Amino acid sequence: MAKPLLAGNWKMHGTAKSAAELASQLAGYAGEKPEIMVFPSFVSIPAVVNALSEHKDIAIGAQNVSHYSEGAYTGEISGKMLTGIGCSHVLVGHSERRTNNAEGNTLVAEKFAAAQQSGLIPILCVGETLQQRQDSLQLQVIKAQITAVIEKVGLQNVCNAIIAYEPVWAVGTGETATPEQAQQVHGFIRAELGEHGKDTQLLYGGSINADNAASLFSQPDIDGGLVGGASLEAEHFMNIAQQLIERK
């Protein structure tokens, strides 16, 4: 069984100072915790690394990575740069990147490969739009998103990463997939990965909060959460973490 994991995606919020303060608050919580990681904005990563320098139980990741390793690519940030400042993980294929930055399955697969080649562990984000769900295409869409990465790096490398199911219609909208809807997709992903994926951490993301976390975490193939807005308050985030610890 995969270990419980809770990841906080801070998106484009706060400053380096406020990010460091939030990280320190998370580190200060006593008691049992699941595996925890945080994803600050690029400019806040060094401050968060410094704030967590004595708290190795909280991992630090980036919200995006270039598919290029280096070169004349103005504004891009490579995986080597991220590992060099203390990142261990990176989000790849987040729905906001797919929607707002036109990142298709091929580019996401290239980013996934670049991340692993630089020593980062990718969290591969997959999910369908509202129209695709209404057309009952969600499993077909998610299969295509995962297959593109498998064809690029191989099944075992995908299983060695983390996968987050985040229905596009539930990200930042306040809408959440029902536990049954989420489990259907998580169970499908687990089956697609096969025996190699029995320990792969599968996260749910999409307006997850302290009110709905317990019912989602009770599902057999949901190993944790990729939390957006609710991760910006330490007390709320750690409330969700406690529910993950107590899930079964």
| Euclidean distance between CA atoms 223 and 214, whole angstroms | 12
CA dist list (Å): 51 to 67, 112, 120, 198, 238: 29, 28, 21, 34, 18
| Helix (H), strand (E) at residue 216 | helix 213-217
Q: Annotated catalytic, 195?
A: no
- DSSP-derived 3-state class of residue 122: strand
List 226's β-bridge partners, or say none: 7, 205
List CB contacts of 55: < 8 A, sequence separation 6 or more.
Answer: 27
Kindly write down the DSSP assignment for every residue of 74-94, as one continuous string: TT---HHHHHHTT--EEEES-
Amino acid identity for residue 108 in this structure: V
How is residue 178 written in tokens?
Answer: 């029902």
Measured at the alpha carbon of residue 94, what is the angle toward residues 65 and 78, in degrees to the nearest 5? 0
Q: Annotated catalytic, 233?
A: no
Contact by Cβ (8 Å): 58, 28: no
Q: Which of 67, 89, 94, 186 is catalytic?
A: 94
Catalytic residue positions? 94, 166
